[in-house]
Structure 1
Amino acid sequence: MTEVPPPLLEARKLVKTFPGRRGGRAVDEVSLIVRRGEALGLVGESGSGKSTTARCIAGLLRPDSGRVLVEGQEVTSPRARRRGRRRVQMVFQDPYSSLNPRMTVADLVGEGLYVHGIEPDRARRRDRVVELLETVGLDSGHLDRYPRSFSGGQRQRIAIARALSVGPDLLICDEPVSSLDVSVQAQVLDLFADLRETLGLALLFIAHDLAVVHHLCGRVAVMNAGRVVEQGERDQIYRSPGHPYTRSLLDAVPVPDPAVERARAAARGWDGPGAQSAEQQKEGEGL
């Protein structure tokens, strides 16, 4: 019998509590699996615990209990955390605050190469930074510029290049397009899809926009009040959600079809235009 390889990433019963937090734990026994090369979407409303879970997995927060394993190796302990950070990198939500404004692009992207001893030679490190910028759709002309001279979409590309610099196996993307213009969002999402295909990267993609997750991810986990309430294959969850909270999230997704919106409103028992009968709708339309 062929031995099944371990998951690339496995989070086991993570718990994180902040002092004084109302409602208890921010993360309450969360377990997730991400396999090599796949994209898992982690969805839920603001405050559901998505970002705290991501920071625990990335080693930016230490969980109160639970374990994080990369290909079966524990990375939760302080000694193992540095090793794990090379394999698991994070792209943050706000590209305006995640980049040091006093550092040039060459220094921002090349810092990981230096800190982790991947490329100590300055000239070769600069060449590698150019390669990384080209990978994300930028070029060598951006090397000596500062973050303030870039648009939001360009800054997020720089942040992605920085995350890629240490050769990770997994990118944790914490709502990386939510602060960008709609026209730019699609470009950055396409970039993530290309990186996954060309580099074999796995993605843990955090979002509150279910349309974004549907576009990019093959599996979905739904969080509410610090817990994962449902997870499974994307199409199964979107077509036939098993948990009431998942259904409420899907019902909240805007649909540009008035007939669909009216049917949704009627099913929810709302009073208002969306709940009008067919006869009332015809009268209002002069039919």
Structure 2
Amino acid sequence: MTAVSGVSALSVRNLVKSFGGRPVVKGVSFDLAPGEVLGLVGESGSGKSTVARCVARLTKPDSGEIKLGGRDVLGASRRELRTLRRDMQMVFQDPYSSLNPRMTAGALIEEGLLVHGIEPDRRKRRDRAAALLETVGLSAADADRHPRSFSGGQRQRIAIARALAVEPKVLICDEVVSSLDVSVQAQVLNLFRDLRERLDLSILFIAHDLAVVHYLCDRVAVLDQGSLVEIGPCGEIYRRPTHPYTRSLLDAVPVPDPAAERARQAV
């Protein structure tokens, strides 16, 4: 999918956020289509994680509009927000700190089912947790293990399973592979590609690595010092970036295809 059409899964308009009087997000606007993966890229400090936290309403923006499937996120009541948060889940960068070390993998996944009143039956919750662990490439037997006994990549898979438990329509992924080894990154990225196809998820994928975004995403939005400077189909921007900042990001990305490299240098 390379274009947004019809009702957006997620719509962000003129998002603004400052900290201590310093503008961090400056009028950012974008749409995420149903079933689309949109990459939001930029260097450290560009504001991309702040955008993600504002979209998830973990951080309150100064102004702007956020709609999830046409529903107002910023103006939602506490009761409405509970439903919205079921439909929009977030996976964080650090799998070591985002999981409660005192809970088993199964309990971590079951928690969302219980909080949102999706499955009151304990046995069915356990079965659902076991199935989700298998969905993300782990074993049902892993449900009784604690986070400390898993590798970083496995912990991130548990975090993904926990987010998927409530069957969200939109998944926000904030630098979810940046702390993982390259080989593990590839496994997690392939998992996202598979989940997107199987579950028809819309994914906002925040990253600083354009090679990762090119591999996974349909479109890419480039954030520079809080401003959205370029957005478009991933392949098109990768081959023919129009903004100097985008070109500077791409200069650091190795291109294995000589023809693609020659085309990029010709721009």
Q: Same fold (TM over 0.5)?
A: yes
Q: Tell me which residue corresponds to 1:276.
A: none
Q: Is the 8 A contact 1:41 1:205 kept in 2?
A: yes
Q: Deviations over 1:152-175 (max 9, x none)?
A: 010000000000011001111111
Q: CA deviation at 1:213?
A: 0.4
The partner residue of 2:72 within 58, 71, 74 is 74
Per the alignment, residue 6 of structure 2 pairs with 5
Counterparts in 2 of 1:193-212, with a 5 A limit?
A: 193-212=193-212
How many pairs were matched up? 257
* CA distance in 1: counterparts of 2:17 and 2:82, whole angstroms: 20
Larger Rg: 1
Any residues of structure 2 matched to 1:1-287 within 5 Å, and which? 5-19=6-20, 24-79=22-77, 80-255=80-255
Structure 1 residue 77: deviation in Å?
Answer: 2.5
Distance 1:6 1:73 in 2: 11
C-alpha deviation, 1:5, in angstroms? 2.9
Compute the displacement of 1:96 (Å): 0.5
Offset at 1:19? 1.4
Moved more, 205-214 or 248-257: 248-257
Q: Percent identity?
A: 66
Letter in 2 for 1:63: P
Instruction: Determine the C-alpha separation between the residues in 2 that align with 1:140 and 1:257.
Output: 40
Deviation at 1:81, TM superposition (A): 2.3
Q: For each residue in 1:33-64, what CA deviation from the matched residue of structure 2 results, as whole angstroms up to 9, or x when unmatched?
A: 00000110101000000000001111211111
Q: What SS is found at the alignment partner of 2:23? A: coil
SS in 2 for 1:186: helix
Give TM-score scaled by structure 2 length: 0.92
Opposite residue 7 of structure 1, the aligned amino acid is S
Secondary structure at the aligned position of 1:25 is classed as: strand
- Kept in 2, the 8 Å contact 1:75–1:83? The answer is no
Tell me which stretches of 4 or more aligned residues in structure 1 moved more than 3 Å. Answer: 254-258
How far apart are 1:186 and its partner, in Å? Answer: 0.5
Q: Is the 8 A contact 2:130 2:141 kept in 1?
A: no
Residue by residue, what CA displacement relative to the aligned partner does 1:78-104 show, whole Å, maximum 9, x if unpaired? 513222111111111110011011111
Q: What is the distance in 1 between the residues matched to 2:120 and 2:64?
A: 36
The gaps in structure 1 that reach 5 residues or longer are: 268-287
Summarize deviations over 1:200-228 as a string: whole Å, max 9, x none: 00111111111000001110100011110
Secondary structure of the 1:120 match is: coil
TM-score (norm. length: structure 1): 0.85
Structure 1 stretch displaced more, 184-193 or 61-70: 61-70
* Backbone CA RMSD of aligned residues: 2.0
